[in-house]
Amino acid sequence: MGITSSTKVTNVTAIPCGSTFNVTLALTAAPDITTNPTDIVLILDRSGSMAQSLPSLKEAAKVFIDIIDEATDGAQDGQIGSGSRIGIVSFADTAVQDTGLITSVADLKAAVDALSAGGSTNHADAFTKALALFDPASTNAKVMVMFTDGVTTAGGPPNPVATLAKSQGVIIYSLGLMGNGGIDVQALRDWASDPDSAYVSIAPTDQDLEELFQDLARNITNPGATNIVIEEVVESCFRVTALSAPTKGTATLAGDRTVVWSIPELGTTQSEGASLTFTVQHNGVCSGTLTINESITYADTEGNVVTFDDPVIDVDCGEDVFPEPCPEPVDITIGGCEDSVVFDAGDLVMDSLGRILQLDVTLRNVCPGKRVALAVILTEVDAEDNEYNRGTKTMVIPAHTAPSCRDVTVRCIKFVLPEELDVSGSPDALCDERSFRARFIANYIDSTFVCCPDIP
């Protein structure tokens, strides 16, 4: 079967500026179905919420059957070959064994085409009827493919039945569709074989169903995978800070942004999953919705074609406020053959030598809808620790409209410091070291407080 599943997920979808999160890569591989016959039960949701999605599901299921047909004997000849079989179980209020484990592609497709939507969602009975199709005495590998678009609304709890099936050696894939009834992703993970990140897939829309089923059957003729090398490079706004030991193979860091994961063999004798988790830290000034990986490549001896999801993460670095505009530049051009140039700078007058001090300050946990009054007091300090006033600035910081309190960074607060005020040494020496102290005062302007209201 080659690589039957490949996923990339994060443990969170949003972080504060400079924080860390975990990324998990997962693969599943299985041996060649022609030498390792497999019994597969497609468990298909036909509850009422599937009314609009059922045509897409039927087409996706039939594409899956065709891929298995060709994989088992090299041709789409209408018969599942090499000892493998497929069965269909569908479910709503209760589950029905629409076929047994059979090899006729025509009969399988007819059973799929006959499905109609209506009723509740009974996952427990679906697992029970699917498990009953398998012959305990058969040496075939056993696979269930549970497809659903909703949560359990009828019957008993499905987890015990799924757990029983896995204890009997059944591999369970959980496929979900974001349907009208909602989807319980944690339930899909509980039902699926481990690692669940390799055995669980979600289709956002009906149009994605065919690709979902194709991915499950992709590389089905390959004998597992050997000499796997995966190289992940995260974007420049991030760096990799830690690697957990992978469940298979070894992982190393090649620089602070590159992870290399090597697996000698996977799924060469039985269906097998592997996963790797590493920790990523945000380390740039970039914020907003960011793509995590710059690139990710996969290679193995068998030539499996593998793609990984491309998750994004929201990075919140707070609000940036620039209360003072930068000075307008004056354009000056010196000709190529001119040794000197006289330029009229207009109102720009050079009174004396000096320096410009630019300050940033972050106001913590500013609540939405409230303006802030901010004052900055700057002093210069001499060798005896005496302080001299160098300026005071007050400004109004606009209210933000975020849904909750957040940090607001006020940038580029500028003070002009002529050298003639230097108290650290000679006022004529531009390279003297000068020492300053800045004090900040801030308070809300807007308040609902009423001082001592009159009592009628």
pLDDT at 456 over 60: no
Q: How confident is the model at residue 377 (pLDDT cuts 50, 70, 90)?
A: very high
pLDDT of residue 161: 97
Is the bond preceding 195 in cis, omega lying within 30 degrees of 0? yes
Per the structure, the complete domain to which residue 384 belongs is given by 320-332+350-444
Sorted by sequence, the CB contacts under 8 Å of residue 404 that are 6+ apart come out as 368
Instruction: Copy the structure tokens of residue 421.
Output: 């005020």
Q: Which residue has tokens 């969602």?
A: 121
- For the ranges 32-36, 37-41, 253-257, 341-345, the lowest mean pLDDT is seen at 341-345
- d(CA 362, CA 368) in angstroms, rounded, equals 15
Residue 322 pLDDT class (50, 70, 90 cuts): low
Asked if residue 149 belongs to a domain, the reply is yes
Residue 67's pLDDT is 87
Predicted confidence (pLDDT) at residue 283 exceeds the cutoff of 70: yes
Within-domain flag for 358: yes
Question: Strand, helix or coil at 119?
Answer: coil
Mean of all residue pLDDT scores within the chain: 87
Q: What is the pLDDT of residue 221?
A: 46
Q: Is residue 453 part of a domain?
A: no
Please state whether beta strands 435-444 and 372-381 pair in parallel, antiparallel, or not at all (unpaired). antiparallel
Check whether 348 has a pLDDT greater than 60: no
Asked whether the whole model's pTM tops 0.85, one would answer no
Q: What is the CATH number of the domain that holds 168?
A: 3.40.50.410
* Residue bearing the bigger pLDDT, 398 or 35: 398
Q: Are residues 86 and 216 in the same domain?
A: yes
Sign of CA dihedral 31, 34, 35, 36: positive
Q: Give residue 392's pLDDT band: very low, low, confident or very high (50, 70, 90).
A: very high
What does the DSSP 8-state code read for residue 47?
Answer: S
Domain ends where: 197, 221, 245?
A: 221
Return the HEC string of 170-227.
EEEEEEEECCCCCCCHHHHHHHCCCCHHHHEEEECCHHHHHHHHHHHHCCCCCCCEEE
Does some domain include residue 214?
yes
CA-CA-CA-CA torsion for 411, 413, 418, 421, nearest 10 degrees? -120
pLDDT in tens, 26-82: 998 877 777 778 899 999 999 999 999 999 999 999 999 998 888 787 788 999 998
CA dist 437 → 129, 379, 425 (Å) = 77, 5, 17
453: pLDDT strictly greater than 80: no
Report how many domains make up the chain: 2
CA angle 323, 324, 328 (to 5 degrees): 150
How much is the average pLDDT of 87-111?
97
Last residue of a domain, one of 221, 242, 271: 221
Is residue 55 domain-shared with residue 165, that is, in the same domain? yes
Better-scored residue on pLDDT, 249 or 454 = 249
Residue 352 is predicted with a pLDDT of 53
| Predicted pLDDT at 154 | 96
Domain check: are 209 and 328 in the same one? no
Q: 61 and 199 share a domain?
A: yes
Tokens of 180: 């009208």
Whole-number pLDDT of residue 282:
93
For residue 426, give the 3-state DSSP assignment.
Answer: coil
Question: Does 80 lie in the same domain as 211?
Answer: yes
Examine residue 23 and state whether it is found in any structural domain, yes or no: no
> What pLDDT sits at residue 414?
92
208 shares a domain with 61 = yes
pLDDT digits (tens, 9 = 90+) for 7-20: 999 999 999 988 99
Tell me, what CATH number does 391's domain have? 2.60.40
Report whether pLDDT(155) > 70. Answer: yes
pLDDT at 220: 47
Confidence band (pLDDT; 50, 70, 90) for 324?
low
Residue 426 counted as domain residue: yes
More confident residue, 291 or 448: 291
57 and 199, same domain (yes or no): yes
Closest CA to 99 of 164, 171, 40, 33: 40
On whether residue 118 sits in a domain, the answer given is yes
Question: Pick from 192, 221, 250: which residue ends a domain?
Answer: 221
Whether the CB-CB separation of 233 and 308 falls below 8 Å is answered with: no
Q: Tell whether 291 is covered by a domain.
A: no
Residue 283: CB atoms within 10 A of its CB come to 16
Q: Residues 393-402: what's their mean pLDDT? A: 91
How far apart, in whole angstroms, are the C-alpha atoms of residue 454 and residue 144? 74
Q: How far is CA 439 from the centre of its chain?
A: 41
219 pLDDT band, cuts 50/70/90, is very low
Q: At what angle do helices 54-73 and 209-217 cross, to 10 degrees?
A: 20
Residues 199 and 326 in one domain: no
